[in-house]
């Protein structure tokens, strides 16, 4: 059992009431770590440490090159510890080790490097004003104390996605990872200590959303919040921001119900392979997952034959086996939720093409495994087509006309990621323009990179993470006006 404490002001400490909670390996439902459960008092201590660090200028006022040096050193330490971090991530989340080694930790390292270097490139602008009476320029400044509340599906990657841009531009941070998979974000504390990050710049508190999270989002000294999670909690966070004495800047990356449109002229084999990644990566527990397949009637039979064959060939098994392709859902509750959605869909008239039940063959019999599932005979109004299931469940809807498919794709409360496949460049351009989503993948799928903005429309969120667009989300825009006319009084037509 790993025992992890709170990381506050570059010190490790127990919770003020010495409370703890346990993190499980969901592939076996066995405890792997004991963590401190932060109280509101502990959260206040973390926020005050961050505020003190920001106000002192020890981080916010130094040259961006100096901040970059510390972050790049942290990236080197992460690279040195990649295997260790990947193993903990796999065990804490229940995902295959090959994913954590090649995606999760690699993306986290890239975030540290990318934002460290990008922060050197922040530039203002000069705005010409009529009359030549004033010189106007725009500059960017950090907010102060930022809070990062991150989910369990990509713990380290999504923690670094908000921590790195925040501190790269001079903010300080209090981060709260999900209580379901908190280990690797807490280990960041060790990495930042070794890299030489000044005390208070990054603080990491663990605990429940109802106690630790609520105390953080309602704290009056937190100036901005980055949250990744459900739409319901995102709305609650907006309410808390509005009720705060000072309205907080909020970035929300919420749920999704990603459409995947396959036109009759698409490369069927390539589209099928990309769709497998789209709804089976991380066992479907991905907000931008492709979970609604709109399939043209002309290729329906061929596409479905290849899809079902590929789905049934996926290997579920020991998450530490490099050959395993799918792991466990995060909890028994999530396993039941996914199964309930499938059963309800079947009761409403959907037809099972693949999967549709928990997977219990050894060594998976103690975990929360679910077979990748494909549901046919679905309408876009069914609950399984409108609500986020967060599991490896794909619903298939046949269509005849492209505009019909796009209309159904947009007929959703979500608008995060969308995918479109065609060999016709005019169709690709048309679909990219008409689909209401923050990200549209054309002849590829779930291809998100640190360098490009990520986020959604409608109930999928506000603002963007990643890229230079995401970096500037962590900066206030300031307009500066210098009066340069020779005669101030005459400019305003003041006469004695």
| Ranges of H-type helices in 295-373 | 300-313, 332-347
CA distances (Å), origin 204, targets 49, 72, 227, 351, 409: 11, 20, 15, 46, 39
Q: Provide the token pair at 281.
A: 């990566």
SS3 347: helix
C-alpha 223: how far from chain center: 20
Query: How many CB atoms within 10 Å of residue 259?
Result: 30
Q: Which residues contact 331 (CB under 8 A, 6 or more apart)?
A: 24, 26, 180, 368
Q: Distance (Å, rounded) from C-alpha 296 to C-alpha 265?
A: 9
User: CB 347: neighbour CB atoms within 10 A?
Assistant: 8
CA-CA distance, 375 to 435, in Å (whole number)?
A: 23
Q: Please give the C-alpha separations between residue 53 and each of 43, 67, 132, 202, 226, in angstroms, as whole numbers.
A: 15, 14, 41, 9, 20
What burial letters (b/e) apply to 284-310, b meaning 16+ CB within 10 Å?
bbbbbbbbbbbbbeebbeebbebbbeb
The active-site residue out of 89, 99, 253, 263 is: 253
Q: What is the 3-state secondary structure (H, E, C) of 182-198?
A: CHHHHHHHHHHHHHCCC
The catalytic position among 266, 287, 364, 384 is 287
| Alpha helices (runs of H) in 57-147, residue ranges in sequence order | 64-80, 82-93, 97-99, 105-118
Is there a catalytic annotation at residue 253? yes
* Those residues with Cβ within 8 angstroms of residue 457's Cβ, 6 or more apart along the chain or in another chain: 415, 416, 436, 437, 438
Count Cα atoms within 13 angstroms, Cβ side, for 216.
32
Contact criterion met (CB below 8 Å) for 90 and 30: no
Active site residues: 253, 287
């Amino acid at each position: 059992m790993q025992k992890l404490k709170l990381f506050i002001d570059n010190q490790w400490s127990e919770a003020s009431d010495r409370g703890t909670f346990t993190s499980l390996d969901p592939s076996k439902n066995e405890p792997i770590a004991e963590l401190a459960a932060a109280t509101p008092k502990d959260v206040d201590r973390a926020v005050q440490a961050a505020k003190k660090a920001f106000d002192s200028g020890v981080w916010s006022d130094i040259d961006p090159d100096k901040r970059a040096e510390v972050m790049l050193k942290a990236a080197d330490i992460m690279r040195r510890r990649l295997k260790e971090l990947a193993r903990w991530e796999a065990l804490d989340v229940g995902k295959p080790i090959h994913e954590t080694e090649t995606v999760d930790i690699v993306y986290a390292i890239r975030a540290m490097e990318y934002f460290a270097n990008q922060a050197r490139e922040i530039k203002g602008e000069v705005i010409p004003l009529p009359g030549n009476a004033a010189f106007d320029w725009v500059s960017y400044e950090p907010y102060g104390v930022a809070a990062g509340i991150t989910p369990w599906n990509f713990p380290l990657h999504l923690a670094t996605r908000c921590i790195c841009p925040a501190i790269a531009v001079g903010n300080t941070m209090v981060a709260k990872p999900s209580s379901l998979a908190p280990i690797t974000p807490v280990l960041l504390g060790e990495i930042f200590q070794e890299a030489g990050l000044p005390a208070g710049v990054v603080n990491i508190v663990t605990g429940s959303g109802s106690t630790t999270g609520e105390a953080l989002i309602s704290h009056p000294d937190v100036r901005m919040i980055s949250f990744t999670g459900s739409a319901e909690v995102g709305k609650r966070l907006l309410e808390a921001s509005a009720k705060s004495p000072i309205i907080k800047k909020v970035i929300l990356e919420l749920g999704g119900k990603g459409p995947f449109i396959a036109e009759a002229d698409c490369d069927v084999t390539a589209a099928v392979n990309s769709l497998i990644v789209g709804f089976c990566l991380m066992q479907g527990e991905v907000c931008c997952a492709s979970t609604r397949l709109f399939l043209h009637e002309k290729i329906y039979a061929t596409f479905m034959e290849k899809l079902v064959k590929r789905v049934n060939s996926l290997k579920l098994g020991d998450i530490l086996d490099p050959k395993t392709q799918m792991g466990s859902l995060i909890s028994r509750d999530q396993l039941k939720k996914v199964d309930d959605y499938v059963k309800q869909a079947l009761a409403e008239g959907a037809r099972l093409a693949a999967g549709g039940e928990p997977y219990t063959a050894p060594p998976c019999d103690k975990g929360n495994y679910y077979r990748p599932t494909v549901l046919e005979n679905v309408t876009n109004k069914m609950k399984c087509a409108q609500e986020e299931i967060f599991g490896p469940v794909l619903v298939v809807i046949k269509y005849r006309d492209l505009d019909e498919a796009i209309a159904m794709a947009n007929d959703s409360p979500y608008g995060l990621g969308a995918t479109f496949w065609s060999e016709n460049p005019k169709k690709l351009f048309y679909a990219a323009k008409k689909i209401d989503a923050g990200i549209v993948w054309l002849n590829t799928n779930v291809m998100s990179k640190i360098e490009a903005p990520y986020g959604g429309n409608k109930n999928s969120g506000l603002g963007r993470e990643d890229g230079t667009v995401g970096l500037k989300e962590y900066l206030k825009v300031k307009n500066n006006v210098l009066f340069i006319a020779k005669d101030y009084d005459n400019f305003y037509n003041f006469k004695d």
